[in-house]
Amino acid sequence: MVRVNGIVVSDSEPVLELEPGRLFVPTGIFRTGRLRLPAQPATHVSAVGLDYYPLDSIAGMHYAIDQGTQTLDITVPASAFTGTLVDGLDNVRTVATRPDPGLFLNHDFQILHSGSQETLSGLLEAGFFSRLGVLTTQYAGADLLHDFRPVRLTTQFFRDYPASMTTLTIGDSFSAVSPWARTVAYAGVRFASKFATQPSFIPTPLPALAGQASQPSTVDVYVDNVRRLSQPVAAGPFAIQNVPVISGQGEIRMVVTDVLGRQQVISESYIRASNLLRAGVSDFTYEAGTLRRNYGIKSNAYRSFFADATYRRGITNTFTVESRAETQIGTETVGLGAVYALLNVGVFTGGLAASLDGGRAGQLVYAGYSRAQRTFGFATQMQMASENFRQVGLDDGQKATRLLFQAQVSKSAGRLGTFAAGYLRRDGRTESNVQALTASVNVGLRRAFLNIGGTYSLLSPRPYGLTVALVLPLGERTIATASGASSPTARDASVEVSRSIPLGPGYGYRVRSSDLDDHKHEAAFYYQNNSGYYGVEAAQQGNGTSVRLLERGPFVLLHRHLLLSRWLTDSFGVVEVPHAKGIPVYVNNQELAKTNSRGLALLPWLVAYNRNSIRLDDTALPVDVTVDLEERMVVPMARSAVFIRYQPATVGGATLVLQTAAGRALPQGALVTVNANPTAYEVQLRGEVFVIDIDYPALVQAAWEGGKCEVRIARPPANTPVPKIGPLTCK
Give pLDDT, residue 79.
83
Give pLDDT, residue 399.
93
Q: Which residues contact 382 (CB under 8 A, 6 or more apart)?
A: 366, 367, 368, 403, 404, 405
Distance CA 606, CA 69 (A): 60
3-state SS, residue 195: helix
Phi-psi region of 429 (alpha: psi -120 to 50; beta: other; left: phi over 0): alpha
Phi, psi of 89, rounded to the nearest 5 degrees: -90, -15
Give pLDDT, residue 356.
96
3-state SS, residue 623: coil
Residues 692 and 698: beta-carbon distance below 8 Å: no
424-440: burial string, b at 16+ Cβ within 10 Å, e else? bbbeeeeeeeeebebbb
Which parts of the chain sit beneath pLDDT 70?
Answer: 517-518, 620-629, 649-652, 719, 721
Count of CB atoms situated within 10 Å of the CB of 731: 8
DSSP structure class, residue 29: H
CATH architecture of the domain formed by 654-729: Sandwich (2.60)
Count of CB atoms situated within 10 Å of the CB of 268: 12
* Alpha-helical segments (H) within 480-594: none
Task: Examine domains 90-131+508-514+526-651 and 654-729 and report if their fold is the same.
Answer: yes
Beta bridge partners of 71: 66
Report the DSSP pairing between strands 641-645 and 571-576.
parallel
Give pLDDT, residue 22.
85
Distance CA 454, CA 606 (A): 39
Residue 499 CA neighbour count, 13 Å, CB half: 13
pLDDT, tens only, 558-583: 999 999 988 899 999 999 988 788 88
CATH architecture of the domain formed by 90-131+508-514+526-651: Sandwich (2.60)
CA distance readout (Å), 475 to 95, 389, 497, 499, 503:
40, 55, 12, 9, 16
Question: Omega of the bond prior to 150 within 30 degrees of 0, cis?
Answer: no
Count of CB atoms situated within 10 Å of the CB of 35: 25
Count of residues in the chain? 731
Distance CA 273, CA 367 (A): 16
Give pLDDT, residue 104.
96
| E strand segments, 343-474 | 346-357, 360-372, 376-385, 403-412, 418-427, 434-444, 449-457, 464-473
Distance CA 482, CA 496 (A): 6
Give how far the C-alpha of residue 497 lies from the chain's centroid of Cα atoms, to the nearest Å: 30
Residues 223 and 233: beta-carbon distance below 8 Å: no
Residue 537 CA neighbour count, 13 Å, CB half: 13
| 3-state DSSP percent of the chain in helix, strand and coil, to 5 | 5, 60, 40
499-530: burial string, b at 16+ Cβ within 10 Å, e else? bebeebbeebbbebebeeeeebebebebebbb
Distance CA 217, CA 256 (A): 6
Give pLDDT, residue 310.
97
Give how far the C-alpha of residue 84 lies from the chain's centroid of Cα atoms, to the nearest Å: 27
Residue type, 35: L
pLDDT, tens only, 351-407: 999 999 988 999 999 999 999 988 899 999 999 999 999 999 998 889 999 999 999
Distance CA 244, CA 254 (A): 13
Give pLDDT, residue 650.
61
Give pLDDT, residue 27.
87
Beta bridge partners of 498: 479, 510
Kindly tell me the sign of the dihedral angle through the C-alpha atoms of 589, 592, 596, 598. Answer: negative
Phi, psi of 686, rounded to the nearest 5 degrees: 60, 30
Give the gyration radius of the chain's Cα atoms: 36
Q: Which residues contact 334 (CB under 8 A, 6 or more apart)?
A: 323, 324, 325, 326, 353, 354, 355
Calculate the CA dihedral of residues 688, 692, 695, 698 and round it to 10 degrees.
-30
Count of CB atoms situated within 10 Å of the CB of 195: 16
159-170: burial string, b at 16+ Cβ within 10 Å, e else? bbebeebbbebb
Distance CA 484, CA 63 (A): 78
| Domain parsing of the chain, residue ranges | 2-82, 90-131+508-514+526-651, 209-272, 654-729
Kindly tell me the sign of the dihedral angle through the C-alpha atoms of 242, 243, 246, 251. Answer: negative
Q: Which residues contact 681 (CB under 8 A, 6 or more apart)?
A: 671, 672, 673, 674, 689, 690, 691, 692
Give pLDDT, residue 180.
94
Distance CA 509, CA 507 (A): 7
Beta bridge partners of 74: 4, 63
Q: Enumerate helices (H) and strands (E) in the chain, giving the number of each.
A: 1, 56
Phi, psi of 674, rounded to the nearest 5 degrees: -130, 130
Q: Just give the CATH number of 209-272.
A: 2.60.40.3110
Query: Measuring CA to CA, which residue among 694, 713, 699, 704 is closest to residue 671?
Result: 704
- Would you call 678 exposed, middle or buried from its count of C-beta atoms within 10 A (0-12, 13-18, 19+)? exposed
DSSP structure class, residue 182: P
Give pLDDT, residue 623.
56
